[in-house]
Amino acid sequence: MKTSIATVSISGNLREKLDAIAKAGFDGIEIFEQDFIADSGTPREIGQMIRDKGLEITLFQPFRDFEGLTGRLREKAFDRARHKFDVMGELGTDRILICSSTHPEALGGIDRAADDLAELGEIAAPRGIKVGYEALAWGRHVNDHRDAWEIVRRADHPNIGLIVDSFHTLARGIDPDTIRRIPGDRIFFVQLADAPRIDMDLLYWSRHFRNMPGEGDLDVTGFMRAVAATGYDGPISLEIFNDQFRGARPDSLARDGHRSLVALMDRVRRDEPDIRIDVPEIPDRVTAQGVEFVEFATRGAEAEALERLLAAMGFTHVGNHVSKKVALWQQGEVRIVLNGETEGFAASAFSMHGTTVCDIGLRVASVDETVERAVALGATPFRQAVGPGELEIPAIRSVGGSLMHFIDDSSGLSDVWSVEFRKTDADTPRDAGLERVDHVAETMNYDEMLTWSLFYTSIFDMDRSVMVDVIDPDGVVRSQAIQAPDRRLRLTLNGAETHRTLAGGFLADSFGGAVQHVAFTTRDIFATARRMAELGFAPLPMTRNYYDDLAARFTLEPEMLEAMKAANILYDEDARGAFFQFYSQPFAGGFFFEIVQRDGDYDGYGAPNAPFRIAAQKRMMRPKDLPRD
Ligand SMILES: O=C(O)c1ccc(O)c(O)c1
Ligand SMILES: [Mg+2]
């Protein structure tokens, strides 16, 4: 399979776009006319520059308002086409896209359009040019790939074919399986784009909100399965118009694009086992079995504060690393690693961010397959010299630059705790009933949320929930939960748009995306809160108004409400179950812990409580911790 991407999908000038596209591993580009016109090179020089970067020009586009015209307008349209064909010859590409006309004077008529295209085919043929016709979802007369196909069929010319674009088909709700009836050799090009489901004018939606396959809500996989069934074997190309992307970093966009295509084609190959699809075999999406450890880079006074907090939460300092300044704290299945090394990865994370989660360990079935899939999807493997007696635990870099280690039972890696750590006997065991990590919450710039969620959902078997808006007194934070089907791994991604929000302030202080809180589960949140109070834990205080409102919103036993109020426990419920949560006070620039109890099948994160939690945290944070204007 040849991968391609339209230059319109990437930010920057043409040269920056090409560098990013080539580096991400694409085979070719659709050159957008605007990008070509804006460049100072001649068509011949631009074509050469593209080839010098190892890229092929898979398509020249768009050519607009061609079919259905009469008289002078029709002659002019043919003149324009001849001019474009000349430019294509110079650039060195043989394929052009004509999108269905939106011209106010286009007459319509399937045969009229077919005749126009057949005549153009005669001009294209001697030049070796293939013309693909695409139905824009808002085309004046043609806005459905089935009509575009009928026009191409009636044009009956070897140089005239069809172009299908997942956005136009899926946005109109057209069944993509109708593509299965089109012969693959009559499809000249395939464009892919996803988009979030928004009820909006089609043109506006398409020009501003498209995103990479897997980032939106359209059934791009179903579309591509249908295309594969036709036998089409030409380039698969991304064509993404997106306002946010226009201001993003070209490298990161191109990497996301390539990752989305590899993940999509892998899905299609698995879903259509009887169709020959020319893509490399890679391991399937990884089943994450839970969080094995959370590692903090921390030193000095901050390390001592974190140790006191962990002790007050019922964690026990159970082990020390055989050769490094690394301590293991444990409770239930939760392992917290405190890394105070002055060299290596944790040390650089600490100098950049201060106390921060620098590494997350995930339990998986097979470490080798996990790393193989992640690397095939463009993730960077991480290695650091291992000391004597240490295991080499495979890791990759996560989007924000932190590490993600993988541990499985089959390769002996899960023995790391007994192999690399010596038991301490100084610390007395404590226990407050914390069992597992419920979720890990990462904070990032809003503009990077899609990159993070694509990273996780393409490597792991995880799905996105609907995005929710969290109201901070100083702005909105968007929160996107992604979770494994059995919920053994849950992540929440919080996208901040301004540094004045709690999340945004944390982001500004930590220089890039990072874990802002970790939540642990308990089966009895009241007992846990009691035990933690005995151990000296100070919860985040909630207001009396909050509990008065809870009493009005839900039917709660007065004693339970009193108990929640006394322990600063927040509450939510939905048709599936109930949710209890309380928080630590923020420390180290805004990091905090959360304790949760899920009853029944409650599957959320207490989003209705978030504004009150944030307001309380902001009240707690000393002025020096508050984000500066
Ligand atoms: O928005 C447009 O005009 C436009 C142009 C060319 C395309 O291939 C397309 O899908 C949309
Ligand atoms: Mg298109």
pLDDT tens per residue, range 81-92: 999 999 999 999
Give the model's pLDDT for residue 268: 97
One domain, residues 345 and 474? no
One domain, residues 346 and 310? yes
Q: In this model, does residue 100 exceed pLDDT 90?
A: yes
CATH of the domain at 522: 3.10.180.10
One domain, residues 233 and 295? no
Q: Which atom of ligand 1 is nearest to the CA of 193?
A: 10
Q: Which residue has the higher pLDDT, 116 or 278?
A: 116
Report if residue 625 sits inside a domain: no
Q: How far apart are CA 236 and CA 257, in angstroms?
A: 12
One domain, residues 218 and 337? no
Q: Does 517 belong to an annotated binding site?
A: yes
**Single residue among 237, 271, 305 that ends a domain in this structure:** 271
Distance 63 CA to ligand 1 centre (A): 9
CATH of the domain at 202: 3.20.20.150
Q: Does 150 belong to an annotated binding site?
A: no
Give the model's pLDDT for residue 411: 77
- Please say whether the beta carbons of 198 and 209 come within 8 A: yes
Give the model's pLDDT for residue 154: 98
Report if residue 283 sits inside a domain: no
Give the model's pLDDT for residue 317: 96
Give the model's pLDDT for residue 626: 47
One domain, residues 447 and 593? yes
Q: In this model, does residue 300 exceed pLDDT 60?
A: yes
Number of domains observed in the structure of the chain: 3
What confidence category does residue 623 fall into, taking pLDDT thresholds of 50, 70 and 90? Answer: low
At 165, the amino acid letter reads D
Q: Is 97 close to ligand 1, i.e. is its CB under 6 Å away?
A: yes
Q: In this model, does residue 602 exceed pLDDT 90?
A: yes
H or E element at residue 317: strand 316-321
- Please say whether the beta carbons of 520 and 593 come within 8 A: yes
Give the model's pLDDT for residue 429: 82
Q: How far apart are CA 47 and CA 55, in angstroms?
A: 10
Here the tokens at position 6 are: 């339209």
Q: Are strands 403-407 and 395-397 parallel, antiparallel or unpaired?
A: antiparallel
Q: Which residue has the higher pLDDT, 29 or 386?
A: 29
43-52 helix and 14-24 helix, angle to the nearest 10 degrees:
30
The tens digit of pLDDT for each residue in 43-59 reads: 999 999 999 999 999 99
One domain, residues 504 and 591? yes
Distance 191 CA to ligand 2 centre (A): 6
The tens digit of pLDDT for each residue in 411-460 reads: 788 889 999 999 998 778 889 999 999 999 999 999 999 999 999 999 99
Give the model's pLDDT for residue 190: 98
Q: In this model, does residue 111 exceed pLDDT 50?
A: yes
Given ligand 1 and candidates 99, 190, 218, which is best to mutate, with the most ligand atoms within 8 Å of its CB?
Answer: 99
**Single residue among 224, 242, 271 that ends a domain in this structure:** 271
Report if residue 199 sits inside a domain: yes
The tens digit of pLDDT for each residue in 220-240 reads: 999 999 999 999 999 999 999
Distance 169 CA to ligand 1 centre (A): 13
Report if residue 628 sits inside a domain: no
User: What are the angstrom distances between the C-alpha of 239 and each of 5, 353, 504, 540?
Assistant: 6, 37, 31, 47
One domain, residues 394 and 267? no
Number of H helices, E strands in the chain: 21, 26
Give the model's pLDDT for residue 511: 66
Q: Is 30 close to ligand 1, i.e. is its CB under 6 Å away?
A: no
Q: In this model, does residue 273 exceed pLDDT 80?
A: yes
Q: Which of 442, 431, 458 is nearest to 402 (CA)?
A: 442
One domain, residues 399 and 478? no
| % of residues, the chain, pLDDT over 90 | 86
Mean pLDDT across the chain, nearest whole number?
Answer: 94
Q: Which atom of ligand 1 is nearest to the CA of 163?
A: 8
What confidence category does residue 377 fall into, taking pLDDT thresholds of 50, 70 and 90? Answer: very high
Q: Which atom of ligand 1 is nearest to the CA of 61?
A: 6
Report if residue 281 sits inside a domain: no
Q: Is 295 close to ligand 1, i.e. is its CB under 6 Å away?
A: no
Q: In this model, does residue 177 exceed pLDDT 70?
A: yes
What would the 3-class secondary structure string for 36-104 be?
HHHCCCCHHHHHHHHHHCCCEEEEEEEECCCCCCCHHHHHHHHHHHHHHHHHHHHHCCCEEEEECCCCC
Q: What is the pTM of this model?
A: 0.94
What confidence category does residue 29 fall into, taking pLDDT thresholds of 50, 70 and 90? Answer: very high
Which residue's CA is minimally distant from atom 11 of ligand 1?
136
Q: How far apart are CA 582 and CA 546, in angstroms?
A: 13
Give the model's pLDDT for residue 528: 98
Give the model's pLDDT for residue 625: 47
Report if residue 278 sits inside a domain: no
One domain, residues 386 and 525? no
Give the model's pLDDT for residue 628: 44
Q: In this model, does residue 622 exceed pLDDT 70?
A: no
Q: In this model, does residue 529 exceed pLDDT 80?
A: yes
One domain, residues 52 and 198? yes
Distance 453 CA to ligand 2 centre (A): 25
Paired strand residues for 336: 294, 329
Report if residue 626 sits inside a domain: no
Distance 358 CA to ligand 1 centre (A): 43
**For residue 83, what are the domain limits?**
3-271
Report if residue 331 sits inside a domain: yes
Given ligand 1 and candidates 29, 35, 61, 136, which is best to mutate, with the most ligand atoms within 8 Å of its CB?
Answer: 136
Q: How far apart are CA 521 and CA 626, in angstroms?
A: 29
One domain, residues 197 and 57? yes
Mean pLDDT, rounded, for 500-529:
89
One domain, residues 438 and 419? no
On the 0-12 / 13-18 / 19+ scale of CB atoms within 10 A, 359 is: buried
Q: DSSP per residue over 225-282, as a string? A: HHHHHTT--S-EEE---BHHHHTS-HHHHHHHHHHHHHHHHHHHHHH-TTS-------
Q: Does 321 belong to an annotated binding site?
A: no
**Single residue among 378, 393, 423 that ends a domain in this structure:** 423
Q: Does 302 belong to an annotated binding site?
A: no
**Ligand nearest to the CA of residue 202, numbered in listed order:** 1
Q: In this model, does residue 627 exceed pLDDT 70?
A: no
Here the tokens at position 401 are: 């630059």
Give the model's pLDDT for residue 629: 43
- Please say whether the beta carbons of 220 and 190 come within 8 A: no
Q: In this model, does residue 485 exceed pLDDT 50?
A: yes
Q: In this model, does residue 506 exceed pLDDT 90?
A: no
